[in-house]
Amino acid sequence: MKFFIDTADVAEIKDMASTGLVDGVTTNPSLIAKSGRNIIDVIAEICDLVDGPVSAEVAATDFETMIAEGRRLAKIADNVTVKVPLTVDGLKTCKTLSDEGTGVNVTLCFSATQALLAAKAGATFISPFVGRLDDIGGVGMDLIADIVQIYGNYDFPTEVLVASVRGPQHVLEAAKIGADVATLPPAVIRAMYNHPLTDKGLQAFLDDWAATGQSILDSKGGAA
């Protein structure tokens, strides 16, 4: 499974990229607004930090303007993936940009039939929002399972990118189902590191080592 980081915070992306765990980045208008910076500058800087796909979302809702915005965003860097909403005009934009060789991430997917349409329109990624479905009493992971099955039935190349991830359990369930990508807020990635038994075991090792009075860096050793 590939891990994308879901943020427009360049400092966070730089820190996470240093771990070698980040395969790409997703942004959206809300994240860009939170950064307080110009979208072109932010996307360009992010694209310099990561080699994988960087999703940059159009802000328009009509086909003509979406196409113009998408083409402008695609010019920023070779690894830009244009993000469009799952609407009729969004799918038209997806088809046009895909035919031109631009990667497209179709976002705000909440049903398997929507995902089927996106795949037929040539989407590179489909972004089902599992957390938002859970919030209204649905089961987000049921949607992921349906999409994975449908895409497998017809060998669609569109990758299932699990979005609106709320915690490590979503990541685990998505990985077991076979989703291609999970896009994760930095806090979720950090939460995946943590386990109380890891902390307890490490502390025991440190206590035992301290009792020896040794230092690996200062030790001369007897090896030839």
% the chain with pLDDT above 90? 96
Does the pLDDT value for residue 41 go beyond 90? yes
pTM greater than the 0.85 cutoff: yes
Please give the pLDDT value at position 210.
96
Active-site amino acid positions = 83
User: Residue 223 — pLDDT band, cuts 50, 70, 90?
Assistant: low
Strand, coil or helix: 203: helix
User: Residue 224 — pLDDT band, cuts 50, 70, 90?
Assistant: low
Cβ neighbours for 95, distance < 8 A, ≥ 6 positions apart: 121, 122
pLDDT tens readout for residues 101-140:
999 999 999 999 999 999 999 999 999 999 999 999 999 9
Cβ neighbours for 26, distance < 8 A, ≥ 6 positions apart: 4, 5, 6, 54, 55, 83, 105, 127, 161, 163, 183
Please give the pLDDT value at position 196.
95
Nearest to 89 by CA among 57, 118, 114, 66: 66
Please give the pLDDT value at position 219.
77
pLDDT tens readout for residues 138-195:
999 999 999 999 999 999 999 999 999 999 999 999 999 999 999 999 999 999 999 9
